[in-house]
Amino acid sequence: MKDAKLVAKAHANHTSEIVITPTVTVGGQQLFIVGGPCAIESMAQMETIAQAHLPIQGLRGGIYKPRTSPYAFQGLGEVGLDILSAIRQRYGLPVVTEVMAIHQIEKLLPHADVLQVGSRNMQNFDLLKALGEIDKPVLLKRGLAATVAEFVMAAEYIASHGNPNIILCERGIRSFDSYTRNVLDLGAVVALKQITHLPVLVDPSHATGKRELVAGLARGAIAAGADGLMIECHPEPEQSVSDARQTLSLEAMAELVHSLIPIAQAVNRSIPSPVMS
């Protein structure tokens, strides 16, 4: 990766720990596990998730949704932002939400702890440059057909415009087999940990598209050295307005995290207790 200057590892032990809040970091010894619905649907949905006291360190939920069809649910927009903001204040859990366009950055900044760049925007260079101007952490998801080198250089765009707080996320890439929605590239996770000093998360939900495959790949990702996970869960997964087929129940989500404990220990990592007050 000869052109990567700022995100490239300077030496073998060079790793960056990104500060999400004063008590939550990613890239250190502790894993960072983010859970929540694909899209924020209602206050009741988010209250139920928050009150479940899941063993997670971050809550996700899209309010601006990049959908394949323009006729599909596009997210609640600003109404969703009010819900996200209320839940964040009430329960003290850091929130991660997707930013699709430059003009949304300003709206999201006061209410989100991490701004996510979705797969479809990984090479939206103007958006990446604009996110380089802020100092909040950016969670950059791998493009659905992006090479590892393109992924690293997308992160370099953000870093070179001034924001070093970047978290990478492998979410599966397109391949010939439609059995799974995408193909989870764990090789890329190991490679990214060797090439860059940035934390690397894995999203087994979008990688597989099937809820019964999520836990196994989540365990594999932690064993492979990922710094955390992003997983979709919902109080009524079958009723999710988007990505229902890959969404876990809250019970399955909690069970999954517990099943990671011995795997985390085996690779000298630990799972922090939930952050919620």
DSSP character at residue 238 = G
Q: Is 119 in the site for ligand PEP (CB under 6 A)?
A: yes
Residue 12 in tokens: 């073998």
Count the neighbouring beta carbons within 10 Å of the beta carbon of residue 181: 20
Q: Closest separation between CB of residue 175 and Mn ion, Å?
A: 19
Residue nearest to Mn ion (CB): 38
Cα 10 from Cα 6, distance rounded (Å)? 9
Q: Which does 171 bind (CB under 5 to 8 A by kind): ligand PEP, Mn ion, none?
A: ligand PEP
Q: Is 98 in the site for Mn ion (CB under 5 A)?
A: no
Q: Which does 88 bind (CB under 5 to 8 A by kind): Mn ion, ligand PEP, none?
A: none
CB 25 within 8 A of CB 18: yes
Q: Closest separation between CB of residue 6 and ligand PEP, Å?
A: 24
Q: Is 118 in the site for ligand PEP (CB under 6 A)?
A: yes
Q: Is 62 in the site for ligand PEP (CB under 6 A)?
A: yes
Residue 187 in tokens: 């090789």
Which of the stretches 18-26, 37-45, 182-190, 256-264 binds Mn ion when contact is defined by CB under 5 A? 37-45
Cα 252 from Cα 244, distance rounded (Å)? 14
Residue 128 in tokens: 């990446």
Near ligand PEP by CB under 6 A: residue from 49, 93, 152, 171 = 171
Near Mn ion by CB under 5 A: residue from 20, 38, 100, 122 = 38
Nearer to ligand PEP, 55 or 75 (CB): 75
Q: Is 181 in the site for ligand PEP (CB under 6 A)?
A: no
Strands 18-21 and 24-26, how do they pair? antiparallel
Per-residue binding letters, 189-228, with Mn ion (x by CB under 5 A): ----------------------------------------
Closest among 92, 112, 119, 268 to 205, alpha carbons compared: 119
Place of tokens 């101007």: 133
What per-residue string of b and e applies to 25-49 under the rule 16 or more CB within 10 Å gives b?
Answer: bbbbebbbbbbbbbbbbeeebbbeb
Cα 205 from Cα 38, distance rounded (Å)? 10
Binding to ligand PEP in span 11-40, by CB under 6 A = 38
Q: Is 124 in the site for ligand PEP (CB under 6 A)?
A: no
In what helix (H) or strand (E) does residue 43 lie, and over which residues does it extend? helix 43-51
Q: Which residues bind ligand PEP (CB under 6 A)?
A: 38, 62, 66, 98, 118-120, 141, 171, 203, 206
Q: Which residues bind Mn ion (CB under 5 A)?
A: 38, 243
